[in-house]
Amino acid sequence: MTVYRTSGFNDHYQYFNYSTKTLPNGLGVGGQMGHFGLWIDSGFTHGGSNTAATFSSPQLSTCDEFNIDMVEVWLVRPSQRHDVAGEGTENMQKSAVEANPEAAAMLEMA
């Protein structure tokens, strides 16, 4: 296992886009559009890897593009849920998107 820390070359740490037609939908880490250090598409079926100046990392896979068999996700800190009914939800503020559904619709159209 290897840890690749930020190189300071750029600040392209993470890209995330979902449900739009004008930009790629998925998760990219390091690098730039079309050349991420690690790319996972929004369907979690395809991925890719390139060298990334953001972390001075090599290509993480043997091929530029690959099919994803399984994704494993780890939680680094304990989860604190406040979205369960009856457990502190009365004092929670709504997010900007939840509080303004019209604005969210305009953003989606844009």
Measured between alpha carbons, how far is 1 from 105 in angstroms, rounded to an integer? 43
Delimit the domains of the chain by residue range.
Answer: 14-73+93-109
Measured between alpha carbons, how far is 101 from 107 in angstroms, rounded to an integer? 10
- Residue 64: what pLDDT? 93
- Residue 14: what pLDDT? 93
Taking alpha carbons only, the member of 63, 56, 21, 20 closest to residue 39 is 63
Q: Is 25 left (phi over 0), alpha (psi -120 to 50) or beta?
A: beta
- Residue 81: what pLDDT? 63
Six-digit token pair at 13? 């740490």
Q: Which tens digit of pLDDT belongs to each residue from 81-102?
A: 655 555 555 556 666 667 777 7
- Residue 17: what pLDDT? 92
Q: Is 100 left (phi over 0), alpha (psi -120 to 50) or beta?
A: beta
Q: Which of the residues in the chain have pLDDT under 50? A: none
Contact partners, residue 7, CB within 8 Å, separation at least 6: 53, 54, 55, 56
Q: Which residues pair with 32 in a beta bridge?
A: 35
